Amino acid sequence: MPGANLTRIEAEERAGIVLKPIHYAVALDLTVGAKNFGSTATITFDAKPGSSSFLDLIADEVSEVTLNGVALDPATVYVDSRIELGDLKEHNEVVVKALCRYSNTGEGLHRSVDPSDGNVYLYSQFEVPDARRVYAVFDQPDLKATFDFSVLAASSWIVTSNMPVKSVTATDRTTADGTLGDHAPETTRQWVFETTPTMSSYLTAICAGPYAEWHTAYRNEDGRVVPMAQYCRQSLAAAFAKDVDYLFDITKKGFAFYDKTWGVPYPYAKFDQIYVPEYNAGAMENIGMVTIRDSYVFDSKVTDALAERRVVTVLHELAHMWFGDYVTMKWWNDLWLNESFAEFTSTLATAEATEWHDAWATFCSGEKSWALRQDQLSTTHPIVAPINDLNDTYVNFDGITYAKGASVLKQLAFYVGREKFFKGINAYLNKHAYANATLADLLGELELTSGRDLKAWSAQWLEQSGINTIATDVKVAADGTIETLILHQSAPAEHPVLRAHRLAVGFYDLDQASGKVVRTDRFELDVDGETTLVAEAAGKARPALILVNDDDLTYTKLRFDEASLDFALANLHRFDDALARAVIWLSLWDMTRDGELAAERFIDTTLRLLATETESTTFRYALACMSTAAWHYTAPARRAAVIEHVAAELWTLASAAPAGSDQQFQLATAYLGYGEEGDEAFAANARGLLDGSVKLDGLDIDNNFSWTLVNALSSVNAFGEADIDAQLAKRDTTENREFAYGARAVRATAEAKAWAWDQALNNDELTNAQLEAVSRGFAATPRADLAEPYAERYFETADWIWEHKTFHMAEALLEGLYPSYADPATLVELGNAWLASHESADNALQRIIRGNVESSQRTLDVRDYNAAL
């Protein structure tokens, strides 16, 4: 990574020298072998005469650099991932020919070989600054340009890019050995694409390979017919064909919703979605051609939570076509504008334009819980984060940028009024079309349409870190009516800002006829400062539960009054509304994480909830958080009994759940995470499900669930190397190889951990997905004796990882290999010593380490709280 960084100051200086219009003609040769590809970039741009600047490029070899007709010595001008350009003219042309390298890390141009049929698939991933891994470029978002792409590829491949194909021509070239994996060389074709509109380099894209394809079209609001396509690997085509029509329909609903909501028709020539293997992110909003991880191609049963998440992801990336692509941030400090807006509006579209009507409950349980977790670390940052260089950007794809930002935008829309909010968005999009903009530009338009001064709002919500807590204080008269209801707002000492909230307070009571807890009253009000009186509550009957932030309209932690807390713990499963359940459950979990609610009380409430919960994402996160509470937060003396109790309850619940239901599937999967070596009943259940001797009616033991069982058995040493090899031999696919790596790494032996540690650090042939599987398996075994030998080694190795791996691989290793089951006190001591000796280390590296160490500190504190009860 050293040398590949770019500071904000450098970017600003370059933007002052390199002037528009900028145009790229990029020619890629994908026929030269399995390791490299040829790249020729011809760039025309204006500049201040006599000035100097540089291009970004990461390449194995640069063979030619020609500036304004003068050949430059590549050995002299290509240094430290940059090509120096001196003595620039008013009008300039530079030609760079290079040999670039395919990646197996999901960065740049990723090359994947599908073992099921030997087919080779390529796709690009350029965010944050990885277009430079494919062609020479001014790789920063504000130097927008137009692009002409041409690609030489094997005749059996299709090639896609941001724009429609202009021409495809057969050539007399053939592919070199290895280009097509084990397939024999073949003839080639030249693909030429239409010129792009003005756009940022990180949004350009190229995909190539023998992808399966489906096509349709959408009639845009402006009358244009927009071609649409979906692509995936051939080995997934049969499974994907079952969902293609549904996904086309979801996408068309998104087009219609965004067109209507923003008043700006889809601005590009086509819209493709291509599902690609071994993807680091969920998806990427390349203009006209979104890349999506192909784990969203469902070849086995998945949770409803994941099925809904796929819909949100599709609509999230579609939203980016307007917000992020059509209008793009000037620098990465406004990354949140892209991601928060897409997250907010995709949830809105999911709730209002699809069958997933409880999408805001999903958002609360899933995304918002992510934000709350990260906002309580010392590594938190303002939504508008200070981004000094690219490394700062990498670590800002986090819960603050996505989930907190989206929650705050939901608050803003409620604060100014939905109609006025989207009227402002319309003005913003039209004013800055195909250009770059800043937060100030957005707030300026919203101020004009809403009539509100948003500078104070921005200062509180966007420019300050941390989260507030709103606590309920209620006084009840002798006749059971409320005398006063007061809301107390507080802030952590390190972020002492009290914010203005527009929220609702809901009253909930048990309806005797239905047995459900329902809302009986609701008040909307502004909360500002330390205390706020809810005047409308006076004289009303005291309800069973008072829910501040009803409908989840603001972003805050909640603390219930004592009676409401007791009622919530006993009756959460009876609440009729999915969003109310999600808000209450998240607050109970937050109290548990803060050492204010006994872990075992939280676990018991969660188990009761799981017997009736129907909202899949709340179900999923309840299971995950209960696992954290059981394995990490309970008193050590009670842990074995708690684990045994939870496992038994999960098996009972799974056995009683409706046959074939999402609940049954999630409960059975969760049960398989509670195995311990020597638990013969657990091993018998898992092995019986795998071989068919144990059955849960309706539970399909398909490919992925079979591997879940293999992983569970391996984790308790009831499945050996030969067993794993035999399972993989049944169906050798990209996904199953990843499962097999994870199953080998999760084995509860010192030898397995040593193997996994070595593979993760030293096997450069592992793909990004395989490396992540090994890392997860390494750290997942809940035995301190296997984790503790790696506590010291982890901190000794952190610097080497950062220096020798690309960012995404370094992040995967530093987070995945953290031995969280080691003694938290030891991890905290070692971690604090590392941080004290690394004050000058890269900020992004410090943030990753600090986040891990503070998680261990929380585990230690909460464990001690529960032990003292």
Task: Establish how many alpha carbons lie within 13 A of residue 137's alpha carbon, considering only the half-sphere containing its beta carbon.
Answer: 31
Amino acid at 859: T
Amino acid at 227: P
Q: Quick one: tokens of 175? A: 């592919």
In the chain, what are the domain boundaries? 1-208, 211-322, 327-461
Q: What is the dihedral of CA 254, 256, 258, 261, to 10 degrees?
A: -140
Q: Contacts by 570-573 with C-beta closer than 8 Å and gap 24+? A: 570/605, 571/510, 571/517, 571/544, 571/545, 572/605, 572/608, 572/609, 573/608, 573/609, 573/611, 573/612, 573/613
pLDDT at residue 1, rounded to an integer: 36
- Alpha carbons 437 and 168: distance in angstroms, whole number: 37
The b-or-e profile of 141-165 (16+ CB within 10 A means b, else e) is bbbbbbbbbbbbbbeebbbbbbbee
Q: Could you tell me the CA-to-CA distances from 489 to 404, 498, 532, 592 in Å, in that order?
A: 18, 7, 8, 20
Q: Which of 516, 514, 587, 515 is nearest to 550 (CA)?
A: 587
Query: What proportions of the chain, in percent to the nearest 5, are helix, strand and coil?
Result: 45, 25, 30
pLDDT at residue 47, rounded to an integer: 97
- DSSP letter string, 293-345: EGGGS-SS---HHHHHHHHHHHHHHHHHTTBTTTEEESSGGGHHHHHHHHHHH
Which CATH superfamily is 211-322 part of? Neutral Protease Domain 2 (1.10.390.10)
CB atoms within 10 A of CB 833: 12
> What residues act catalytically?
317
Kind of pairing between the strands at 158-161 and 146-154:
unpaired
Q: Do 344 and 154 touch, CB atoms closer than 8 A?
A: no
Domains 1-208 and 211-322 share a fold: no
Kind of pairing between the strands at 120-125 and 206-209:
antiparallel
- Alpha carbons 191 and 154: distance in angstroms, whole number: 10
Q: Report residues of the chain scoring pLDDT below 50.
A: 1-2
Q: Do 65 and 95 touch, CB atoms closer than 8 A?
A: yes
pLDDT at residue 2, rounded to an integer: 39
537-548 pLDDT, tens digit per residue, is: 999 999 999 999
Query: Looking up tokens 């917000």, which residue turns up?
Result: 323
Domain 327-461 class in CATH: mainly alpha
1-208 under CATH 2.60.40.1730, yes or no: yes
Residue 183 is given by DSSP the state S
- Alpha carbons 348 and 339: distance in angstroms, whole number: 14
Within 8 A by CB and 6+ apart from 58, the residues are 4, 81, 100, 108, 132, 133
Within 8 A by CB and 6+ apart from 314, the residues are 247, 250, 251, 254, 273, 283, 290, 292
